[in-house]
């Protein structure tokens, strides 16, 4: 049959990979949006007092950990309270409105993977939309290709947004800083009073290794 001939020529492999990438991006979206981004729980405070809690970075200078005025937990270093999630989040990066969840210590690496997969899907989709276009200066051509044109323009816009977001996050990760720390450096006590501009920076290679591994 024609389907078997296409399979023998390898013509079905690319559409199959594309569908798998789309499914993977959807699964990653739900995974990142539904998982715990690193909420600070009251019971963890007791474990930290006994030396069994999560290890936090060294506090620069004589700055003391403060208690959150909203959820009343002792905030670990680099944590921030999110008023939308009503929780303090470890290594808080930002609250993503598209995910309706915070990006923090636990889901930040998966967020980067999601952006990477999404970028590949958008680039592939843009290539498919562009290859289906053949340009003619006529009203009939525009009527028959308006869907492809709109699709290509939307894909192009989303590709630029995702690309800029991914590049900016990879840059911040390579410096071992977060979006919140980068944007609010002057308002964060452990950064404002530190002798170093970024006391957490340990070099690009080690920063990337510790983030992803």
Residue 62, pLDDT score: 53
Please list the residues that pair with 103 across neighbouring strands.
94
Q: Two tokens at 117? A: 């997969």
Q: Which residue among 24, 68, 85, 96 is the active-site one?
A: 96
How far is Cα of residue 109 from the mean position of the Cα atoms in its chain? 7
CB-based contacts of 136, cutoff 8 Å, min separation 6:
none
Q: Which residue has the higher pLDDT, 134 or 155?
A: 155
Q: Please answer whether residues 107 and 101 qualify as being in contact, where contact means their C-beta atoms are separated by less than 8 angstroms.
A: yes
Q: Are strands 80-82 and 94-96 parallel, antiparallel or unpaired?
A: unpaired
- To the query of whether residue 96 is one of the catalytic residues in this protein, the response is yes
CB-based contacts of 118, cutoff 8 Å, min separation 6:
25, 162
For the stretch 143-171, pLDDT in tens is 777 788 888 899 999 999 999 999 999 99
């Amino acid at each position: 049959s024609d389907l078997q001939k296409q399979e023998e020529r390898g013509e079905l492999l690319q559409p199959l990979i594309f569908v798998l990438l789309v499914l993977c991006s959807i699964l990653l979206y739900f995974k990142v949006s539904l998982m715990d981004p690193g909420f600070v729980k009251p019971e963890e405070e007791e474990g930290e007092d006994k030396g069994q809690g999560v290890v936090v970075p060294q506090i620069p200078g004589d700055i003391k950990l403060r208690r959150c005025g909203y959820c009343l937990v002792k905030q670990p270093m680099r944590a921030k309270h999110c008023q939308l999630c009503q929780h303090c989040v470890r290594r808080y990066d930002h609250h993503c409105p598209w995910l309706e969840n915070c990006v923090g210590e636990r889901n930040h690496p998966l967020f980067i993977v999601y952006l990477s997969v999404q970028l590949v899907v958008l680039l592939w989709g843009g290539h498919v939309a562009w290859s289906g276009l053949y340009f003619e200066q006529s009203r009939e051509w525009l009527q028959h290709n308006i869907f492809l044109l709109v699709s290509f323009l939307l894909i192009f816009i989303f590709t630029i947004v995702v690309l800029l977001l991914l590049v900016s996050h990879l840059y911040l990760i390579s410096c071992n800083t977060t979006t919140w720390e980068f944007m609010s450096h002057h308002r964060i006590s452990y950064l404002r009073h530190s002798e170093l501009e970024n006391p957490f920076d340990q070099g690009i290679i080690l920063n990337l290794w510790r983030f992803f591994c």
